Structure 1
């Protein structure tokens, strides 16, 4: 009888803990998270509510991992700004496993690739909101997880992970073109997250003419950049994507507030530099102006710095 697949979840929070919980039903899972979460989950277990059903789980959850027993898969679910430090801290384990990024933004896979040649890109189209230290609400599910060998391709490692996720009850779609999927997810994030964070409203409230004009300009700038890069998005042109956003995605996630807003409300640094900020950097490298993406990035950075002024 074969031994169970071993999975390590690093930077487990609102995304990583639900993944760890569901996977613990079919694999040997360890989650590394903040001390307060690890202590609470070790005492009381962990629960999921909402679009993934209502379930309770018990699985190993620690703040620091002891030992170097290898894992088959390492899932990195931290904020993008923490990717390098996490990979450096666990470099021996990262170097010996298939490493999967389930993170927002552009650049995480490239960072992980500095520590291993076995990188799998992952796209999460699900909304998660923490409910205290030991529970997460799944607020919306706009599609299956997407996974693929980075920057492109399918292989046994990807398909093995897809099989495990499926057995755990997590919808998944393997793809041979994960880089395009990552940029497609980034397009969604750049369109909605920062504007929701600045205004404090849910996605459904962003469909008015003034906010929609800003979204349109952000989207059109991104298309110019990615088309120059030769990256294939899921929607052939800006108007097709905007129609999808207006008619399909926002209705499903109308009540969802962005994780960026949650970060700002808690005084945490956001991932803006890996979302719209990444678009600005690529635009500068290619000689393409991206004024709307630059402006909204600056506004989010101001909200971050203004937190101390608001608190005082």
Structure 2
């Protein structure tokens, strides 16, 4: 399959490298100039797994304006708030037969992509795969090969032949894909998970396992999930798990699955980039208010993350 990964950051590299190793024709497109420069100078990206066994994987990378082919699949891994900006730079190579896959963290990315691409050509979904960018041209795959899983779902329509082809290639790459049927339910299930671990680990500056060690972590998770489940139920969104099962999932993944992992929002905060809190906790707040409900715990977290973002301009004396 001819694939272009739009965004050669942590997750874009994880997907692209694995799919390239599985035999696909993969090109990377990125807008981060230091990253493009480093990859070109190295003739590839340095990959580690859990911080060990660094090796160079040869990949090709270019800026959006330099890519003029027409891929079968464009994998979009750009922060939610930059979706329109990057789609504007990439729209010239998104042909009528190009499908776009997005596994962005929050809610809204696929809807913005739909301003450029027919909804029937968009595949959304979620990824339970931890990856960390160590710097320009350097990426760390967290977890053993074959750990983690990916859920993919068509934004409009039932599963078709193409999404099954994508799943087959992901299976070859040991990404453990599941083809789902419910777009909103699939995406929101991961969003409400992210709105706990991403946000709290970022605010407190801890890894997921350290969060789970706190004796009040489960009750704190339950308070946030209760607000999330009320908002999604009011909208008629059927999550993949019930509220208590979602609490258990957060605790299990934090304790067992990725205890040594800093979530992506933490990575953004620590590198002085804007966070996606408005597309995670903020999305829950907006959904609750739409139905006359309140989500005060999520609303407080939004304000606290933005306060922490603003405080980065101050240095500790």
Alignment TM-score, normalising by the size of structure 1: 0.91
Q: Sort the Cα spacing of 1:152 and 1:184 in 2 relative to 1 into closer, same or farther, 3 A.
A: farther
Aligned ranges for residues 158-307 of structure 1 at < 5 Å?
A: 158-207=163-212, 208-236=214-242, 238-307=243-312
Aligned ranges for residues 139-150 of structure 1 at < 5 Å?
A: 139-140=142-143, 143-150=148-155
Aligned residues: 307
Equivalent residue number for residue 28 of structure 2: 31
* Contact kept? 2:67, 2:93, Cα under 8 Å: no
Equivalent residue number for residue 43 of structure 1: 41
Equivalent residue number for residue 17 of structure 1: 13
Equivalent residue number for residue 132 of structure 2: 129
Q: CA deviation at 1:311?
A: 7.1
Match of 1:105, SS state, is: coil
User: Which one is further off, 162-171 or 46-55?
Assistant: 46-55
User: Which one is further off, 77-86 or 155-164?
Assistant: 155-164
Deviations 1:118-147 (A, max 9, x none): 110021111111223222112247631111
Q: Sort the Cα spacing of 1:53 and 1:73 in 2 relative to 1 into closer, same or farther, 3 A.
A: farther
Q: Sort the Cα spacing of 1:217 and 1:181 in 2 relative to 1 into closer, same or farther, 3 A.
A: same
Q: Sort the Cα spacing of 1:200 and 1:51 in 2 relative to 1 into closer, same or farther, 3 A.
A: closer
Q: CA deviation at 1:76?
A: 0.7
Match of 1:198, SS state, is: helix
| C-alpha separation in 1, matches of 2:67 and 2:268 | 32
Q: Sort the Cα spacing of 1:85 and 1:286 in 2 relative to 1 into closer, same or farther, 3 A.
A: same
Q: Sort the Cα spacing of 1:215 and 1:169 in 2 relative to 1 into closer, same or farther, 3 A.
A: closer
Gaps of 5+ in 1: none
Matching of residue 68 in structure 1 with residue 64 in structure 2? no
Q: CA deviation at 1:211?
A: 4.2
User: Which one is further off, 267-276 or 146-155?
Assistant: 146-155
Match of 1:308, SS state, is: coil
Q: CA deviation at 1:210?
A: 3.8
Match of 2:94, SS state, is: helix
* Contact kept? 2:124, 2:155, Cα under 8 Å: yes
Alignment TM-score, normalising by the size of structure 2: 0.90
Q: Sort the Cα spacing of 1:302 and 1:165 in 2 relative to 1 into closer, same or farther, 3 A.
A: same
| C-alpha separation in 1, matches of 2:222 and 2:14 | 33
Matching of residue 7 in structure 1 with residue 3 in structure 2? yes
Q: CA deviation at 1:172?
A: 1.4
